[in-house]
């Protein structure tokens, strides 16, 4: 099953993680609580008083930035969309590989235990093994903003940066809304899920959605395999020769439904795992090193 979902900007705004938006502007998480307020300016003034006197100028900056971000979002809503694409695929695990619709996706195994006594995890652990003879399911997804959105206000550095940081958040927010639809409707493994937006943003749902470039899926060249499965051009995403996505405000990855699925960091890998991974990818070690530099000892 493959489906393309496009959302208006204002449809995905409730799914924005404002903590990451404010972090991009150099604000600590406590200033992002401005996004939790509803109502009038009186509430915002009261919010300011919760900060020590010396922090109130910074809090006032955060308040102003939040207002300007919403004004910009309202403008973007007139002309632009957030585009998502997903495919629910037949899948099985074969050791540290996933076999997805007949395509092999090699993965890396965690090198430092997440907790004492726990296993060394690999994403393939959350999928039925091929030896079971029982097919399982894995989701593959991509999301992006309209390419022209990132090109706005290039002569205005402040507004251009505001567009860039909002575009990143909108792509992630569109992914969050798409994933909610997958869990409740398309895949339907959690049809009765009834989470608040706050619970969604802390990922209180069943399953995980690791994106390429994140700690459990660090190899950017995996984008080429996902593109083979998805056809990302359908929503305007193209890949550079190194696997980077354009528009920059794009995200892609995998979706797992297993109740025990959890996020982890692969961490530093040794030459033995690097050699094994390169063999499974069918790539020379020198090429693999280029994509896994941050994970090499």
Q: β-strands 238-239, 136-145: how paired? A: unpaired
pLDDT in tens, 167-200: 999 999 999 999 999 999 999 999 999 999 889 9
Task: Indicate whether 161 pLDDT > 70.
Answer: yes
pLDDT averaged over the chain?
94
Which residue shows structure tokens 């995980």? 208
How far apart are the C-alpha atoms of 38 and 43, rounded to whole Å?
Answer: 7
Question: H/E element holding 143?
Answer: strand 136-145
Q: What class is the 2-8+81-156+166-266 domain?
A: alpha beta
For residue 172, CA distances in Å to 20, 21, 183, 253 come to 10, 11, 17, 12
38 or 211: whose pLDDT is higher?
A: 211
How far apart are the C-alpha atoms of 125 and 129, rounded to whole Å?
Answer: 8
pLDDT in tens, 220-245: 999 999 999 999 999 999 999 999 99
Q: What angle do CA 265, 268, 269 make, to 5 degrees?
A: 110
Question: Is the four-CA dihedral 232, 233, 238, 241 of positive or negative sign?
Answer: positive
- Predicted pLDDT at 39: 64
Question: With 0-12 CB in 10 A as exposed, 13-18 as middle and 19+ as buried, what is 196?
Answer: exposed
Give 119's pLDDT tier (boundaries 50, 70, 90).
confident
- Predicted pLDDT at 113: 67
Give 44's pLDDT tier (boundaries 50, 70, 90).
confident
Asked if residues 244 and 297 have their Cβ atoms less than 8 Å apart, the reply is no
Task: Indicate whether 38 pLDDT > 80.
Answer: no
CA 116 from chain center: how many Å?
A: 28
Asked if residues 8 and 73 have their Cβ atoms less than 8 Å apart, the reply is no
Q: How many CA atoms lie within 13 A of 57 on its CB side?
A: 1
Give 98's pLDDT tier (boundaries 50, 70, 90).
very high
DSSP H helices, the chain, are 9-12, 18-24, 41-48, 56-79, 157-181, 197-201, 222-230, 271-281, 285-291
Q: Give the predicted TM-score (pTM) of the model.
A: 0.94
């Amino acid at each position: 099953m493959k489906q393309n979902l496009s959302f208006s900007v204002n449809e995905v705004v409730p799914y924005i993680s404002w903590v990451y938006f404010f972090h991009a502007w150099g604000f600590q998480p406590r200033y992002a609580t401005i996004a939790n307020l509803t109502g009038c300016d009186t509430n915002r003034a009261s919010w300011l008083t919760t900060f020590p006197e010396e922090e109130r100028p910074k809090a006032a900056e955060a308040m102003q930035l939040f207002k300007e971000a919403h004004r910009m979002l309202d403008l973007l809503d007139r002309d632009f969309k957030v585009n998502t694409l997903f495919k629910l695929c037949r899948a099985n695990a074969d050791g540290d590989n996933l076999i997805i619709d007949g395509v092999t996706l090699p993965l890396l195994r965690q090198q430092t235990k997440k907790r004492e006594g726990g296993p060394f995890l690999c994403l393939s652990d959350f999928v039925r093994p091929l030896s079971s003879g029982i097919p399982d399911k894995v989701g593959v997804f991509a999301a992006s903003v309209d390419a022209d959105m990132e090109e706005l206000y290039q002569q205005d550095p402040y507004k251009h940066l505001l567009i860039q940081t909002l575009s990143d958040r909108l792509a992630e927010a569109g992914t969050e809304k798409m994933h909610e639809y997958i869990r409740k409707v398309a895949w339907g493994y959690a049809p009765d899920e009834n989470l608040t937006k706050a619970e969604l943003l802390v990922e209180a749902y069943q399953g995980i959605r690791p994106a390429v470039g994140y700690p459990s899926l660090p190899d950017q060249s995996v984008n080429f395999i996902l593109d083979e499965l998805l056809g990302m051009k359908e929503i305007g995403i193209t890949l550079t020769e190194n696997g980077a996505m354009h528009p920059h405000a794009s995200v892609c990855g995998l979706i797992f439904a297993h109740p025990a699925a959890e996020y982890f960091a692969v961490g530093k890998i040794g030459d033995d795992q690097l050699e094994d991974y390169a063999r499974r990818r069918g790539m020379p070690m020198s090429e693999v090193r280029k994509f896994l530099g941050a994970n090499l000892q």
